[in-house]
Structure 1
Amino acid sequence: MKFKFPAKNSSSSSSSIKSSSSSGSSSGRSRCVVVVVVVVVVEVVVLVVVAVVVVVEVVVVLVVVEVVVVEVIVVVVEVVVVVVVVVVVVRVVVVVVVGVGVGVGVGVVVVVVVVVVVVVVVVVVVVVVVVVVVEVVVVVVVVVVVVVVVVVVVVVVVVVVVVVVKQVDGK
């Protein structure tokens, strides 16, 4: 078997090689541009997802703090209720054992304690309601912001990919 090499001055074979290599390099560059754009887009999406996760974690921490505060308030109210019950029992015992005169003085103390407890309970309920409303508003705002950011990122990514693909196809 013998191999035949083309003549050195043959222009047809060299021009076809040059044209194919030049078109290959431009398509290679186009592919690189597309890959770089896709990688950047993926990185941006990952950053947005991480930001969303951080925001959700912050909201969860706020909810946990709110639950702890509500539990502390409930414990305080329970302690106050126990104190009122003890005062009422002491009053009844004093009235039964000592007599009505001393019982009247204890009764005034009981009325004052009951009024204070009612005021404290009302204030606690108002504070809890305000905290819950604020928490709900914060969660709704965070969810809306996250959704808007995700939609904007998706739209930007789609636009960038479409523009790059059109430019690559145009070349």
Structure 2
Amino acid sequence: MSDASVFRLLLLLLLLLAVIVAVGCVGVGVVMVVVVVVVVVVVVVIVVVVVVVVVVVVVAVVVVAVVVVVVVFVIIVVVVVVSCVVVVVVIPTDSRQAPVSQV
């Protein structure tokens, strides 16, 4: 074997090694991109779930507060109406049934 053929063989082996390293780097790059995409998707899903849970909790609290306010308002209105009915209807009727004797 001459020096030129040995040099060509070494150059060919070096080229083959460069191709293997390049393919390996591309493979590692693809794996890194896939890992980054998966991590981003998982983070986005977690953020969306947290936002949905927070929105549901806030809506539930607002609905409960509105229901409590409406129930309290209805109770107050019922008490006022019953009081007015007692003052306007029941008390005068009772006083008419039992007239006070005049001196």
Name the amino acid aligned to 2:59: V
Q: Distance in 2 between matches of 1:19 and 1:79?
A: 89
1:91 aligns with 2:91: no
Kindly indicate whether structure 1 or structure 2 has the higher relative contact order, using CA contacts under 8 Å at least 6 residues apart: 1
2:55 alignment counterpart: 64
1:45 alignment counterpart: 36
**What's the TM-score, normalizing by structure 1?**
0.48
Q: How does 1:6-155 map to 2 (within 5 A)?
A: 11-98=2-89, 99=91
SS in structure 1 at match of 2:67: helix
Kindly report the root-mean-square deviation, in angstroms, between the aligned alpha carbons of the 2 structures: 2.1
1:140 alignment counterpart: none
Q: Distance in 1 between matches of 2:6 and 2:81?
A: 112
**What's the TM-score, normalizing by structure 2?**
0.76
Aligned residues: 92
Task: Structure 1: give runs of 5+ residues left out of the alignment.
Answer: 1-9, 103-171
Q: Distance in 2 between matches of 1:48 and 1:12?
A: 53
SS in structure 2 at match of 1:13: helix
Per-residue CA deviation, residues 100-123 of structure 1 (Å, 9 max, x unaligned), is 9x9xxxxxxxxxxxxxxxxxxxxx
Name the amino acid aligned to 2:13: S
